[in-house]
Structure 1
Amino acid sequence: MRKLSVNQSIITIAYILFLWLPAVAQQPVAYRASAPKLHDLVHTALEVRLDYAKQFLYGKAAITLQPHAYPMDSLQLDAKGMEIREVALLAAGKHTPLQYSYDSLQLHIKLNKTYQPGEKYQVYIAYTSRPNLFKSEGSAAISSAKGLYFINPDSANAGKPVQVWTQGETEANSVWFPTIDKPNQKTTTQISITAPAKYVTLSNGYLTAQHNNGDGTRTDTWKMDQPYAPYLVMMAVGNFYVHKEKWKGKEVSYYVEPVQAPYVKQLFGNTPEMMSFYSSLLGVDYPWNKYVQVVVRDFVSGAMENTTATVHGDFTYQNNRQLLDENIWEGNIAHELFHHWFGDYVTTESWANLTVNESFANYSETLWSEYKHGADGGDYTNYNAAQIYLTYSPEDEHKHLVRFDYDHAEDLMDRVTYQKGGRILHMLRNYLGKEVFNKGMHLYLTQNAYKTGEAQQVRLAMEEASGKDLNWFFDQWYYGSGHPYLDMQYAWDEASKTQTVYIQQTQTGKTFTLPFAIDIYVNGKKERHDVWMKTKADTFRFVLAAKPQLVNVDGDKILLAKKTDHKSLQEYVYQYFHAPLFLDRLEAIQQAAGAQQDGDARNMLVAACKDKFFRLRTAAMDSLNMQLPEVRSAALPVLLAIARNDSSTLAQAAALNAIGRTKDSAYLSLFREKINSRSYSVQAAALNGIAAIDMPMALQYAGQLEKDSKDLLSWAIAGIYGRSGDTSKLAFFSKQLDGMFINRKSRMIAGYLLLLSQTSNADLFKTHFDNALTHIRDYKQYKAQGRFVPLLQMVHDKKEAAHLPAQSAQAATAVKEMSN
């Protein structure tokens, strides 16, 4: 897990859940075969009644099956942690008891006869689901695997809604209904939910009936006529506001808490456009009868693509002021929708092949960004994902994309399956061309509709679309591990007018086969040379009319590789102004940032502050060294204009932050003006600017802004309070953390601990330190509590230095707990 500087990093918060995932050294494990298909699920009919007091579900399941390939006289169902009350054959309305045994995980049923392949039969099971009694192990990606979740069922937590929801992936739905809980099964469903009549229910498919039972409950029946995998079955119950739209006559709805109703359209409003875009791109219209998105409390993952009914965690919520800066969840909304083709319409045949679900869904974020926000937007999203894989997970270099040797299925939900897999698809699209790649996706979907697929079927579809052999590509990227490390050097020979490019793969182990472009700029014009690298070291020579201003290796910026490029600073400056891509310009900004005493680099950075893409404007402004007089004089006129007039509030905030680094009181009036902005990011930057000049004034403004503060603004206030030493501000931290979603807590906790390190009051310290630990423990479900160890160690060291042994001991205990 990695801490992000939200809106101040080239990587955004949309990826925070994956940055939380720790890289774990892989131990040798057994081969994981695909689940054998002895029986096929055909239809699952459930009647479920919720018991909020016990947190039980009382269920009746009528499951229609048929032997897959061989005659069968027995059946094995997954049914985890249940109480089984009855097992019977259901025929002509009659229940004929069947012999069975149950080991708390699987239900073994002796059928009444031997059934032939294709011969349908129906078993009936009455059961009680007891999710809180089932001992399940979660993972870094999905923090719990008990399937069914009762949230605040006794209303003990005032202000927190009462909800029930489910989470099935990978194989947790069999905690709340018996099934063959494998991804290579498909079933239609009918689910009748009996719940308090005051609540809204949601499940897969369409609502066919509602019946008031006269006892304060209502039974809603949901029916799904198209087959889908058991792990995609869902249920949610709660007090939801429902906003409804239409797409080609199909329901498109958003279920949120009533207090969030004013923001729901702005939050989810791009969904119909996404449905149109993906339908056109894939040549397959959205294939299901509705699309609903529901936001629930305390969700155990980021979001889940249950067929027709995606679940999002409550960190999705943003108000209109947050959305003024950006919708940080837009990529995830796109991701889960795209799963309704790659994952739901065609489902991975085995968890080993999870890439056919998740790599495509991850890449869909790039495709959407490219369509909606232009080429720079798409490249920005793609770069973020590449950096998450390349920068944060060195152990992942040893993992294959398709893995049959995993320990737990959830282990596959990592940076390799998601971020690396998505970038592999990006390289494949570049190699094949966009139209051919899209045709390959279309073929894969239509050839395997409502069935399952694996990576080899993706290869075959792409080969059919392109006419090219792709075994080399899939062997290298899907069934191999790692990525290239490229060292690039250049030499110009004036006598022969020859430009030589030396490229070496410096990684240990295998050699990668790499097709890419080398763009050479001569006399202001670009020449493209398409090349292949097939050995550890290659030399490419080009006879040119004159010495080039720039040699740009990997001209499309497509390779998933770590690069050491020995271009000169002047070449990078030329690259910024002449090479067109987002990454061309970002590379130049990053190089110039370290050479701001050079006039060309400095001028380029100032020019980059006005880049057409606001992300690059912010990157340039964030890199300015405002302590250098030459930088200040060149940049300030540009920064002042951006701070007042830029169309992006994030760019305005970056300009204010850069101006604030001067600590010049001449700009105090500007900060006081911008403190009234509607944008939290602008307010945060203005507040930090005031704090750098006049801390008492900043404390006064912080007190005024406390009530309506979120994200960057609340973090800015936390930073000011943390440095203030004013222990009366501890209540601010406690209140903020109690109402804050987990992915926004870390900076608040940091300020909390900083302020606590400055108090000698034993009772005050104990109360608030215990409270801080409660919030740190929330990160344990993501195995991310270790990020707070340095802060806890700082508290310990300060208490020890101040000769406060009781407080020091409490901090030491916390360090030990969070280090495990």
Structure 2
Amino acid sequence: MRNTLPLIGLLATLLAFGCSPKTYTVAAPEMETRNLDTMTVTPAANGVIETEEIVMPTEKVIPNERPVYNAAYNRTHDLLHTRLDLSFDWAKEMVIGKATLKLKPIFKASRTLVLDAKNFDFKSITMNGKALDYTYEGDKQTVSIDLGREYTRDQEYTIVLDYTAVPAQSGGSAAITSDKGLFFINPDGTEDKPMQIWTQGETENNSRWFPTIDKPNERCTQEMYVTVQDKFKTLGNGVLENSTKNPDGTRTDYWNMELPHAPYLFALIVGEFDIVEDEPWNGIPVNYYMEDGFKDYAKDIYPYTREMLTFFSDVTGVQYPWAKYSQVAVRDYVSGAMENTTAVIFGEFMHGTDRELIDVETNEKIVAHEMFHHWFGDYVTTESWSNLTLNEGFANYSEYLWMEKKHGRDAADFHMMSERSGYFGSAQRGIHELIWYDFEDKEQMFDAHSYNKGGAVLHMLRDYLGDEAFFAGLTKYLNDNKFSAVEVDELRMAFEDLTGEDLNWFFDQWFLSAGHPALKVETGYADGKVMLTVEQTQDTDENVPGVFRLPTKVAIFTNGSTTPEMMDIVIDERKQTFTFPSSVKPDVVVLDPMHTLLAQFNYTKTTEELAAQFKGAPSLVDRMLVLQRLGNKEDSALKTEVVSMALNDPFHGVREAALGMIVESADENQLKVVRSLAKSDPHSSVRATAIQVLAANEDSELKAISEMALDAKPYPVVSAGLQGLVVADPTAATAAATKLEALDNPSVNSALASLYAEAGDPAKLPFFEKQMKVADGYGALDVMDGYRTLLAKGTPAQMTAGLEKMVAMAKDQNQSLFRRLAATKALNDMREEAKAAGTTDVVTKLGTMISAIKAVETDPNLQRFYQQFGG
């Protein structure tokens, strides 16, 4: 599964930085450098502690109960095969099903079978046509079935459950916002969206639409016979064996999954789709189920699918094992994406045209993530949710592997910086072990530990073992554990058996302990020696090691050389000093020069050292870190030199970061480079940012370059061109704006909203009223902010009508979260302006509107956000 950033995190960002398209900021990953608290060490005379304070131990508190341990599910029956016969009552949002299950006891003989079945209405449960006794009452989460006699582990049996189910939500999480399991979208066909049915099984929610043993350490083969109206297409696991048209205008599709997989990976999608068939990969079908209007962009939306199948088969040493590969984006999806075996589901955010998806790497990373799960998660599956990182950490790391393969090491390291930043930010709110046995709720496992930290730890393991051993170890792990459930020790033993090395130290500190090292680093030079002192300052609460063992390297640059002397070291004490001979004082010393350690560094360097690091160090991380740190240094010729070098860097992220440092302070030499970037940089975000820099400096060539940008293919460049033209020639910008409305692109519409709001012509209110119905994300905030600005310049009647539209938008729970937020925030901004103007009656009226919105809001994230708005 691929997480999307929780809304509450986005809201925090909004509060801190605002969302105006005119704000010339550059989005770059947060770096891993932190100002950390340091441990106080009392110096000892001549290395000898002369006095020592005796601290009497406090009385040890003995717990009264055992600690929480979320064990793997205790299996008593083995689910061998599932056949489902399904149809649907759209009006009642009901599943009408018959489940035929083949099972046998695991080891001990048994006559009682317990199945997960949430909120079902059973018509009958039979074996060989004979009714079985069963108990299904209380919370209706499981059904207990008396098999009529005891069965041994050598005896298979088959039961048939005839049922209906109306899936209902009982919870959710930040990662998976609803646990409903099966969703009817626009079931009565009255909404402005397609009619669809789709499923979301993870974690244990498929048992809301079919009875099963809904645990990750269970797996079975599968058949589905799905009856739907003939206008709909269906997508399921495995291969579509046949379709049969029925006399009543329906059609029954038969999906057959011959290889076993976990019940949470069962999937079903129903809707009106265009099926785009790609060229088969090694004989297996590859296809894309496309919503109306997007079939021509299938390979833009799901880029490099066949290439990834080849790459991941090669890099794992295991050829893609399943019968097909299908991908589909659905409406109102409750997560980012889900790795259902052979039938991956994504949210509609994946949709876009070829123009909209230029330079957008998000799609390919998510495609890679879900595909890699077909080895790590589907082929080999975590035995318990406590071990979830064995699924998600690998899928997260696949994004790095793919970026490295397709776009180079710089692109991969840039991605890893962002992933680490996400983990460090999460760790500030709380830490736990990667293998987390004492969680309160299994949904807590879907966080930046299981994903981001898991991927970063695998990167460290790869660096420590070397590529040959790391990838050979993955092959052994997959082959040893295929079609089975695993825990972390099986991963460790695969690498140990391969290399002959005991790796308990690595797995204990990174998988079974919490946190990460905080390193205070100091360097010095005297008597022909370089001294490097490293102190581990991390707090040791919450099962964080006081001392991490950190094999790494040290790079020493001297005499302006870009080829450093490289030394291997092992940091394995709380504080230790390493010395290295050197005939001259080094230009700079770089600890962990390939930046593989998941650690936070407190390491102060001079401008001269940073410049040497930028010029010489081999990693993209060095260049990004240097720019970040130089941002806090006083302006100097050396700083200007480094920034000018960065403007010509081969990686787009460095160029964009450099542009962000000279927004309003570019000198003439830099402006020459910026003009070139604005005209022809191969990456659209760099080109757009360069135009913003020219606009901020009111450059003499701004008008010509902005007009050129209006004809660019990437929409962010067009948007930047319009904003630049507003600065250079407002009349020309207004003339161009009408033509740009036809593009109907969120980025361009945000720029238009800003222009129209500033122009103050109420005749443009219909533009906003159209856009506020479709704009989403930050674009919704831009549009609504422009709308309320323009309303203030309209007639009283326009103001009244506009307020009614905003309140209706904010109260409509069918609207997206961002649209509701945008409308409510705009109303609150209007109220704050009224307060400043002293118009008490307006303040009261708007306050009443906001209170009514808060009273009907159901989303907990928005409820918390709205608390800052008064009643």
> TM-score, structure 2 length as denominator?
0.86
The alpha-carbon deviation at position 691 of structure 1 amounts to: 2.7
Match of 1:643 among 665, 678, 703: 678
Gaps of 5+ in 2: 1-7, 14-18, 31-65, 541-545, 856-862
The alpha-carbon deviation at position 458 of structure 1 amounts to: 1.1
1:545 match: secondary structure: coil
CA–CA distance in structure 2, aligned partners of residues 331 and 293 of structure 1: 14
CA–CA distance in structure 2, aligned partners of residues 433 and 38 of structure 1: 41
Q: Aligned residue for 2:28? A: 10
Deviations 1:674-712 (A, max 9, x none): 122121111121122223344554444334322314343
Closer/same/farther in 2, CA of residues 774 and 601 from structure 1, 3 Å limit: farther
The alpha-carbon deviation at position 274 of structure 1 amounts to: 0.4
CA–CA distance in structure 2, aligned partners of residues 485 and 723 of structure 1: 48
CA–CA distance in structure 1, aligned partners of residues 447 and 86 of structure 2: 34
The alpha-carbon deviation at position 469 of structure 1 amounts to: 1.6
The alpha-carbon deviation at position 664 of structure 1 amounts to: 3.9
Q: In the alignment, is residue 560 of structure 1 matched against residue 560 of structure 2?
A: no
Q: Aligned residue for 2:227? A: 194
Question: Which stretch of structure 1 is more off in the superposition, 285-294 or 607-616?
Answer: 607-616
2:569 match: secondary structure: strand
The alpha-carbon deviation at position 430 of structure 1 amounts to: 0.7
Q: Aligned residue for 2:507? A: 474
Q: Which amino acid aligns with 2:525?
A: W
Closer/same/farther in 2, CA of residues 552 and 335 from structure 1, 3 Å limit: same
Q: In the alignment, is residue 106 of structure 1 matched against residue 142 of structure 2?
A: yes
Q: Is the 8 A contact 1:643 1:651 kept in 2?
A: yes
Q: Is the 8 A contact 1:522 1:545 kept in 2?
A: no
Q: Is the 8 A contact 2:239 2:256 kept in 1?
A: yes
The alpha-carbon deviation at position 721 of structure 1 amounts to: 4.1
How do 1:126-525 and structure 2 match up within 5 A? 126-131=162-167, 134-158=168-192, 160-245=193-278, 246-396=280-430, 398-493=431-526, 496-509=527-540, 510-523=546-559, 524=561, 525=563
Q: Aligned residue for 1:70? A: 108
The alpha-carbon deviation at position 714 of structure 1 amounts to: 2.8
2:248 match: secondary structure: coil
Q: Which amino acid aligns with 2:467?
A: K
Q: Which amino acid aligns with 1:145?
A: D
Q: In the alignment, is residue 115 of structure 1 matched against residue 151 of structure 2?
A: yes
Q: Is the 8 A contact 2:182 2:197 kept in 1?
A: yes
The alpha-carbon deviation at position 262 of structure 1 amounts to: 1.2
Closer/same/farther in 2, CA of residues 516 and 643 from structure 1, 3 Å limit: same
Q: Is the 8 A contact 2:557 2:587 kept in 1?
A: yes
CA–CA distance in structure 2, aligned partners of residues 233 and 318 of structure 1: 27
Closer/same/farther in 2, CA of residues 435 and 751 from structure 1, 3 Å limit: farther
Q: Is the 8 A contact 2:422 2:448 kept in 1?
A: yes
The alpha-carbon deviation at position 560 of structure 1 amounts to: 1.3
Q: Is the 8 A contact 1:765 1:807 kept in 2?
A: no
The alpha-carbon deviation at position 108 of structure 1 amounts to: 1.2
Q: Aligned residue for 1:819? A: 866
The alpha-carbon deviation at position 522 of structure 1 amounts to: 2.1
Q: Is the 8 A contact 2:809 2:815 kept in 1?
A: no
CA–CA distance in structure 2, aligned partners of residues 477 and 792 of structure 1: 48
Closer/same/farther in 2, CA of residues 727 and 347 from structure 1, 3 Å limit: farther
CA–CA distance in structure 2, aligned partners of residues 615 and 360 of structure 1: 25
Q: Aligned residue for 1:24? A: none
The alpha-carbon deviation at position 467 of structure 1 amounts to: 2.2
CA–CA distance in structure 1, aligned partners of residues 574 and 135 of structure 2: 61
Q: Aligned residue for 1:682? A: 717
CA–CA distance in structure 2, aligned partners of residues 435 and 754 of structure 1: 60
The alpha-carbon deviation at position 135 of structure 1 amounts to: 3.9
Closer/same/farther in 2, CA of residues 620 and 560 from structure 1, 3 Å limit: same
Closer/same/farther in 2, CA of residues 458 and 98 from structure 1, 3 Å limit: same
The alpha-carbon deviation at position 789 of structure 1 amounts to: 8.2
1:155 match: secondary structure: coil
How do 1:474-623 and structure 2 match up within 5 A? 474-493=507-526, 496-509=527-540, 510-523=546-559, 524=561, 525-595=563-633, 597-623=635-661
Q: Is the 8 A contact 1:56 1:130 kept in 2?
A: yes
Q: In the alignment, is residue 708 of structure 1 matched against residue 743 of structure 2?
A: yes
The alpha-carbon deviation at position 735 of structure 1 amounts to: 2.8
The alpha-carbon deviation at position 750 of structure 1 amounts to: 5.0
Closer/same/farther in 2, CA of residues 431 and 327 from structure 1, 3 Å limit: closer
Closer/same/farther in 2, CA of residues 538 and 814 from structure 1, 3 Å limit: farther
The alpha-carbon deviation at position 88 of structure 1 amounts to: 0.8
CA–CA distance in structure 2, aligned partners of residues 571 and 295 of structure 1: 49
CA–CA distance in structure 2, aligned partners of residues 401 and 47 of structure 1: 39
Q: Is the 8 A contact 1:315 1:742 kept in 2?
A: no
Deviations 1:742-780 (A, max 9, x none): 586455455556656777765234323224425798666
Q: Which amino acid aligns with 1:321?
A: R
Q: In the alignment, is residue 653 of structure 1 matched against residue 688 of structure 2?
A: yes
Closer/same/farther in 2, CA of residues 576 and 29 from structure 1, 3 Å limit: same
2:667 match: secondary structure: helix
CA–CA distance in structure 2, aligned partners of residues 530 and 305 of structure 1: 40
Question: Which stretch of structure 1 is more off in the superposition, 597-606 or 270-279?
Answer: 597-606
2:243 match: secondary structure: strand
The alpha-carbon deviation at position 186 of structure 1 amounts to: 0.2
Q: Which amino acid aligns with 1:516?
A: T
Match of 2:92 among 30, 54, 57: 54
Q: Is the 8 A contact 2:117 2:211 kept in 1?
A: yes
How many residues end up aligned between the 2 structures?
791
Q: In the alignment, is residue 806 of structure 1 matched against residue 857 of structure 2?
A: no
Closer/same/farther in 2, CA of residues 640 and 404 from structure 1, 3 Å limit: same
Deviations 1:159-204 (A, max 9, x none): x211111110001101110001110100100000000101111100
Q: Is the 8 A contact 1:463 1:470 kept in 2?
A: yes
Q: Is the 8 A contact 1:490 1:501 kept in 2?
A: yes
CA RMSD of the aligned region, Å? Answer: 2.5
Q: Which amino acid aligns with 1:109?
A: I
Closer/same/farther in 2, CA of residues 779 and 505 from structure 1, 3 Å limit: farther
The alpha-carbon deviation at position 517 of structure 1 amounts to: 0.9
Q: Aligned residue for 2:707? A: 672
The alpha-carbon deviation at position 579 of structure 1 amounts to: 1.0
CA–CA distance in structure 1, aligned partners of residues 781 and 487 of structure 2: 39
Closer/same/farther in 2, CA of residues 463 and 615 from structure 1, 3 Å limit: same
Deviations 1:14-48 (A, max 9, x none): xxxxxxxxxxxxxx994322111011110000000
Closer/same/farther in 2, CA of residues 722 and 333 from structure 1, 3 Å limit: farther
CA–CA distance in structure 1, aligned partners of residues 362 and 813 of structure 2: 23
Closer/same/farther in 2, CA of residues 653 and 151 from structure 1, 3 Å limit: same
CA–CA distance in structure 2, aligned partners of residues 787 and 561 of structure 1: 38
Q: Aligned residue for 1:25? A: none
Q: Is the 8 A contact 1:55 1:130 kept in 2?
A: yes
- Counting aligned pairs with the same residue, the percent is 35
Gaps of 5+ in 1: 13-27
